[in-house]
Amino acid sequence: MAVCHPVEQKVWDGTRVVLVGNPNVGKSAIFGALTHQRVIVSNYPGTTVEITQAALPNGAVLIDTPGTNSLTAQSDDERVTADYLSANHAEIGAVVQIADAKNLRRALLLTVQLSQLGLPLVLVLNMMDEAVTNGVHIDTDRLGAKLGIDVVKTVAVRGEGIDQVLAALPAARVPHVELAVVQPGDYPPRAQKLKRELHTVADLLHEVISHSAPADRRWVRQLGRWMVHPVLGWTFLLAVLWLVYKFVGEFGAGTLVGFLEETVFGQWINPAATSLIDTVLPIPLIHDLLVGDYGIITMALSYGIAIVFPIVATFFLAFSILEDTGYLPRLAIMFNRVFNLLGLNGKAVLPMVLGLGCDTMATMSTRILETRKERLLVTLLLALGVPCSAQLGVVLGMVNQVSTAGMLLWAGVVIGTMFVVGWLAAKLLPGARSDFILELPPLRLPQIGNITVKTVARVEWYLKEVLPLFVVGTLILFALDKTGALAVVERLAAPLVVNALGLPAAATGAFLIGFLRRDYGAAGLFALALAGELNTQQMIVSLIVVTLFVPCVANVLMIAKEYGAKIALYVVLTVFPLAFAVGALVNVVLNWLHIQL
């Protein structure tokens, strides 16, 4: 670590220490390693962009700002970071910039801009192990001397260098960087300033970086190139999807669901609970509430734990592995040309992939897209046809029950519907597509620790946020059943559910409760399928409808929060009728052509 001259110790209690850095440099990993405690998440005033904070051991408050490539803001996230540093200048005791050591050029441009704010700074070079592997060697002592600040090396995923970051805070000082003198040209002042900053970065890099032959990872680099190849890339994608399907759709939705539903709940929990309740509380209403057709134990917990939980858990594990390998940004490259047809670029695939975890969080992540048109388009497509993890898991479980032809029909209809809707929306919404610039991280072997932490955190989210809604949904169905309202709704919905979609009347309850949680509705349909109450054609039609179904309440509220109640209403009024219309059309065509699937 490059250490400057000692400075007088500060009183840090309540002082703000702000983490700043480019996207995907390990900022969140360092935030977690520095704090080791529960964080507070809040929206930056006047925006929907989140700021995360927690206490440091020295009493300071650590603030994690959104990733930014420049203080000359282009997106909402970048504007929040720039505005936060400006508005809270007096309260900030130190800025800790996290940099990707193997891409120092990009980081130093931000360092040069930060130096002009007059705030004490510590520069953290993260991912040092990858830099060394790539043959990049940084003279941190010389870099620290040139900037007048401490420079710390870290490998956040292994906890290396974290103590040195904390130790460097008392010595944090304002960097002293003189911008390079360049030949004046016929440029606007802003462009002239950027030119000087780039020349300054080039001068620094020339003095502090040396290169050696990278470690022999040619096969890894070749593999990375194949993954974005116009032909081979799709082969890799299909292979990944096949592996995810085998793990989630067959092992999770087949083996694990079968064991939990048929053995754990079917043979152990449900009979024991029924016997206990009939002995201790032999009251018909209590019996029906807990272990009846719409009982908390026999339906809510059975759906939530026996059917959905194993699928969600296996999906979260698979998603964490893909995330940790660095494969997801390569998907953005592969889908760039496809998304161009929808007025989007490859960056749109990142919120959509995140939507496979949670559409609500994915709607928030559309902020990484630079134009309002792109954000609205992706939000609509997320609401229309990107199932969240719980719903996707159930869908994969149902897909596993049908033939290959049926699975292809489901996928083709859903993708085709999204494409048509996206294409039309792109034509109707004003605005242009932004440029596609994306840095590809190196392929990595997934770290067991990272995968475990991410998977456990997501499973915890499911148990805390989603499982209680299964109980609420069951109570609603119970109340509707006891009051006779459910029978009335089924009769009213019969022309749509029974006649148009060709489904049994019992499916009405699944669609009804799907308004609360789309995945809960999917679980209800899956239960009908497992009980043999849906034939193959009915399973395919119900799969199409529930995949295109209206987003859950939380997602609708998030859309309203991001874009206003009118946009949220437009999304609902588009998605809901369209889902049933497409399902009804598929049912009519299959009946007309007498296709056996």
Domain holding 456, by residue range, is 232-435+450-593
Q: Is the pLDDT of residue 178 over 90?
A: no
Is residue 589 included in any domain, yes or no? Answer: yes
Mean pLDDT of 507-515: 80
More confident residue, 291 or 530: 291
What pLDDT is recorded for position 9?
47
pLDDT over 70 for what percent of the chain?
A: 91
Q: Model confidence over 189-237: pLDDT tens digits? A: 777 788 888 889 999 999 999 988 776 677 888 898 899 998 999 999 8
Is residue 444 included in any domain, yes or no? Answer: no
Co-location of 202 and 239 in the same domain: no
Mean pLDDT of 474-498: 86
More confident residue, 371 or 266: 266
Co-location of 198 and 238 in the same domain: no
Element (H, E) at 95: strand 92-100
Under 8 Å between Cβ of 120 and 113: no
- For residue 123, what is the domain's CATH number? 3.40.50.300
What pLDDT is recorded for position 357?
65
Is residue 152 included in any domain, yes or no? Answer: yes
What pLDDT is recorded for position 5?
46
What pLDDT is recorded for position 278?
92
The last residue of a domain, from among 211, 241, 259:
211
Co-location of 285 and 204 in the same domain: no
Alpha-carbon torsion 292, 297, 300, 302, what sign?
Answer: negative
Query: pLDDT category, 596, cuts 50, 70, 90?
Result: confident
Mean pLDDT of 10-33: 83
pLDDT over 90 for what percent of the chain?
A: 34
Co-location of 161 and 85 in the same domain: yes
Under 8 Å between Cβ of 173 and 149: yes
Query: pLDDT category, 99, cuts 50, 70, 90?
Result: very high
What pLDDT is recorded for position 361?
67
More confident residue, 36 or 580: 580
Co-location of 169 and 242 in the same domain: no
More confident residue, 476 or 42: 476
Worst-scoring range by mean pLDDT, 294-308, 381-395, 480-494, 509-523?
A: 509-523
DSSP secondary structure of 251-296: IIIIIIHHIIIIIIIIIIIHHHHHHHHHHH---HHHHHHHHSTT-I
What pLDDT is recorded for position 92?
93
Query: pLDDT category, 526, cuts 50, 70, 90?
Result: confident
Q: Is the pLDDT of residue 49 over 60?
A: no
b or e along 520-557 (b: 16 or more beta carbons within 10 Å of the residue's beta carbon)? Answer: bbbbbbbbbbbeeebebbbbbbbbbbbbbbbbbebbbe
Mean pLDDT of 487-515: 85
Q: Is the pLDDT of residue 43 over 50?
A: no
Under 8 Å between Cβ of 58 and 137: no
Mean pLDDT of 351-374: 77
State the chain's mean pLDDT as an integer: 84
Co-location of 192 and 242 in the same domain: no
What pLDDT is recorded for position 37?
60
Worst-scoring range by mean pLDDT, 35-44, 323-332, 454-463?
A: 35-44
Mean pLDDT of 255-275: 92
b or e along 291-327 (b: 16 or more beta carbons within 10 Å of the residue's beta carbon)? Answer: bbebbbbbbbbbbbbbbbbbbbbbbbbbbbbbbbbbb
Is residue 219 included in any domain, yes or no? Answer: no
Residue 524 CB contacts under 8 Å (≥ 6 apart), including other chains: 303, 507, 509, 510, 513, 514
Mean pLDDT of 341-354: 82
Co-location of 38 and 183 in the same domain: yes
The last residue of a domain, from among 152, 180, 211:
211
Q: Model confidence over 323-343: pLDDT tens digits? A: 888 888 888 888 888 888 888
Co-location of 140 and 244 in the same domain: no
Query: pLDDT category, 128, cuts 50, 70, 90?
Result: very high
Mean pLDDT of 241-256: 83
What pLDDT is recorded for position 582?
96
Co-location of 467 and 585 in the same domain: yes
Co-location of 250 and 184 in the same domain: no
- Rounded Cα–Cα distance for residues 379 and 354 (Å): 12
Mean pLDDT of 104-127: 94
Co-location of 145 and 236 in the same domain: no
Extract the tokens encoding 35. Answer: 């704090």
Q: Is the pLDDT of residue 388 over 80?
A: no
**Tally of domains within the chain:** 2
The last residue of a domain, from among 177, 211, 245:
211
Under 8 Å between Cβ of 180 and 196: yes
**Which of 33-47, 139-153, 314-328, 366-380 tops mean pLDDT?**
139-153
| N-to-C CA span, the chain | 66
Is residue 585 included in any domain, yes or no? Answer: yes
Is residue 216 included in any domain, yes or no? Answer: no
What pLDDT is recorded for position 392?
75
Neighbours of 243 (CB within 10 A): 13
Element (H, E) at 41: strand 40-43
Alpha-carbon torsion 532, 488, 476, 563, what sign?
Answer: positive
- Rounded Cα–Cα distance for residues 69 and 82 (Å): 11
Extract the tokens encoding 205. Answer: 């890099």
Q: Is the pLDDT of residue 40 over 70?
A: no
What pLDDT is recorded for position 290?
95
What pLDDT is recorded for position 444?
81
Q: Whole-prediction pTM value?
A: 0.70
Strands 61-64, 16-21: pairing kind: parallel
Is residue 6 included in any domain, yes or no? Answer: no
- Rounded Cα–Cα distance for residues 327 and 591 (Å): 42
Query: pLDDT category, 47, cuts 50, 70, 90?
Result: very low
Is residue 217 included in any domain, yes or no? Answer: no
Residue 187 CB contacts under 8 Å (≥ 6 apart), including other chains: 195
What pLDDT is recorded for position 46?
43
Helix (H, G, I), strand (E, B) or coil at 152: strand
Under 8 Å between Cβ of 91 and 118: no
Query: pLDDT category, 260, cuts 50, 70, 90?
Result: very high
Q: Model confidence over 141-155: pLDDT tens digits? A: 999 999 999 999 999
Co-location of 169 and 265 in the same domain: no
Q: Is the pLDDT of residue 44 over 60?
A: no
Measured in residues, the chain has a length of 597
Mean pLDDT of 454-477: 79
- Rounded Cα–Cα distance for residues 275 and 257 (Å): 24
Neighbours of 226 (CB within 10 A): 14
